Structure 1
């Protein structure tokens, strides 16, 4: 007998879950109803900045013709879930429809965090999350004029690059003492700041914004920093992190974690463990949310196994290793980036002339690789990441520099 799965949300993780389930559901056990908040099917949010370089929304879409024409998938756009009735096993949506489910997966994602500063609601303030956000930023951008990005993490640097692509002069304000504070150490942060500075991005670390200031027309005209500095600005993009979309939890009697997110166990099950799961940025696995894409995909696969009754593999935790190219600058981190393991040793090589930085974190034996950071040149990343937890196959400098020459 065919059963109904409702998926609340159609971001990258929700889409991965549906595609994975359809591929593995050979018997057609599940009919899937996707209730999507956005007007677009799932798209590659990681490559969102390319939308400003001329890539179309359809080119970034993850939903091909086969998916859209699948008779077992009912995709309803602009139809956000507004409530869950666990007793009746139904969900209510923004279009006033009520859909019954046998299983429900919450894939509602996250929303941008807006710091509580005066002026954040002025015309000219934006977030950086969707096609609609980028359309609004493009419409407001004036080439040659300054713009401020609040947040110097991954998404903040993407937003700064977006302003640069639109011809603006971007400033990045980061409260931490360095850019990308979660992914890189102080040395890599210095190299990154220098390289993006050479590209015309003005970096202000170790400070926060005190207020967004309006002009006579009521629109943004400047930003005042905590140290009293005033930065002239035509627009402000808030990219200071995200918060899980868990507002459906309370009315439905579902638990949330201390810092937000639907509280789930290692199998991504809520307290309604045979009916409701949560995956992706909205899921707090044993109390912890994971913002990267790879952990979200793994959560989705864990849930698919349970839906098909083919196993119960727990979510193994997140591999936070990452390799990125931000504003043309290569950055990579893997394993114990900040040398937090007991007895950890650090091997550091910085080449100021070349604009590169590399740090390897070794165990107290001096041979076991625990992690590392690369900035400016991440050629050695694949080899080094594969060696984490193992003894080095060559001296550190040989691993770094031989890979760079290959």
Structure 2
């Protein structure tokens, strides 16, 4: 294949795709046009908290993101795509220009979901997704005042950390019974909640949001939880998940998954053999992935196809994670929630303690299939390496070491 490759979106997935294509395209078969919605080149969204703490935005730029020295790549900033015409193989941009393609990769990412509650658009309400979002939070934050983060998942706790660094007293509202419910089980979530409370962050778990309430000046004054509790708030950050950016699908007659996202096969290709999707906007066999590691694997698979390996496929992703949130270590790997039929759980942790460790074994209790660590992740590397393997020691001995 050769010609013009158009990439819609220049986030982390889109940038990885372009870099992989350029590294593999030894004959310069492709001329690449990147249509970026934001006014800046690709940057590390995972490091937004560092930007909130004062790190210059330029320090977040991904390596080579501007393609200044690559004449085969044209990066068009502040140029969102608004329509795809598959019949003429063209993309129309918001500025009225069009660009033709021989291959098209959709890397449009996702948008924050804001719960449809009264007051969700009051002055003082924010989302946490882009450099502009964080800049707006920094402009609004005032040391000593109170902030509420709605959403106690990974990104919500990152936002809470940024607000703490800005000197605000921070509450976290999470509808699930414990924090980080996608990665941690009840025991791990409980330890995380206790340790964060000691650090000054107050979690409200098992609490839905009823409304965001205005003060006399029309801006945020408080939030009301589903149970009626009122929490004072000078600033609110919504971090309740994301939704794939798949709005270009309708005009292009591309299929989307039930929960959103461009529906693609294992090769990340749509029903149109010239159109692919990667990253958070892609639903591989109907499933979307919200982490950067799967996005990079999708980008690599598509880049291989574009440069000769037509059968290269996305083989799924390891969703294991090890994090330090506001100084608290947590990790999960494999089947952390013991959903495998017949799975056996071995737990080491004192009620009310600062550390928690769990191993999940298969029904024969001999093979490690998952685990959770909270408070101390020293054993993460060792345990993760044992996934799918027969245990070299008794579970209680491994947990004691953990």
After TM superposition, the score normalised by the length of structure 1 is 0.96
Corresponding residue SS for 1:291: coil
Alignment check: 8 A CA contact 1:126 1:133 kept: yes
Which range moves more in the overlay, 240-249 or 37-46?
Answer: 37-46
Which range moves more in the overlay, 40-49 or 304-313?
Answer: 304-313
- Counterpart position of 2:388: 389
Cα deviation, residue 20, structure 1: 0.7
Cα deviation, residue 68, structure 1: 2.5
Paired with 1:362 and 1:371, the residues of 2 have a C-alpha distance of 7
Cα deviation code 1:294-344 (max 9, x no counterpart): 111111111111111224122112211111111111111011111111221
Change (3 A) 1:37 1:65: closer
For the pair 1:159 / 2:139, whether they are aligned, the reply is: no
TM alignment of 1:186-205, pairs within 5 A: 186-205=186-205
Corresponding residue SS for 2:59: helix
- Counterpart position of 1:290: 289
Which range moves more in the overlay, 121-130 or 349-358?
Answer: 349-358
- Counterpart position of 2:72: 72
Which range moves more in the overlay, 45-54 or 102-111?
Answer: 45-54
- Counterpart position of 1:366: 365
Cα deviation, residue 84, structure 1: 0.4
Cα deviation, residue 371, structure 1: 0.4
Change (3 A) 1:113 1:331: same
Paired with 1:363 and 1:237, the residues of 2 have a C-alpha distance of 40
Corresponding residue SS for 1:212: strand
Paired with 2:271 and 2:105, the residues of 1 have a C-alpha distance of 13
For the pair 1:142 / 2:142, whether they are aligned, the reply is: yes
TM alignment of 1:322-337, pairs within 5 A: 322-337=321-336
Cα deviation, residue 400, structure 1: 3.9
Change (3 A) 1:350 1:65: closer
Cα deviation code 1:32-82 (max 9, x no counterpart): 100000111111111110112222111110143883221011011111111
- Counterpart position of 1:306: 305
Q: What is the RMSD computed on CA atoms of the aligned residues?
A: 1.4
Cα deviation, residue 352, structure 1: 5.7
Corresponding residue SS for 1:14: helix
TM alignment of 1:3-402, pairs within 5 A: 3-64=3-64, 67-272=67-272, 274-351=273-350, 355-402=354-401
Paired with 2:275 and 2:98, the residues of 1 have a C-alpha distance of 17
Corresponding residue SS for 2:47: helix
**Number of residue pairs aligned between Structure 1 and Structure 2:** 402
Following TM superposition, the consecutive aligned residue runs of length 4 or more in structure 1 with deviations greater than 4 angstroms are 351-354
Alignment check: 8 A CA contact 2:66 2:75 kept: no
Paired with 1:296 and 1:312, the residues of 2 have a C-alpha distance of 18
Paired with 2:233 and 2:201, the residues of 1 have a C-alpha distance of 14
Corresponding residue SS for 2:364: coil
Corresponding residue SS for 1:183: coil
Which range moves more in the overlay, 149-158 or 351-360?
Answer: 351-360
Corresponding residue SS for 1:28: coil
Alignment check: 8 A CA contact 1:41 1:63 kept: no
Paired with 2:165 and 2:123, the residues of 1 have a C-alpha distance of 21
After TM superposition, the score normalised by the length of structure 2 is 0.97
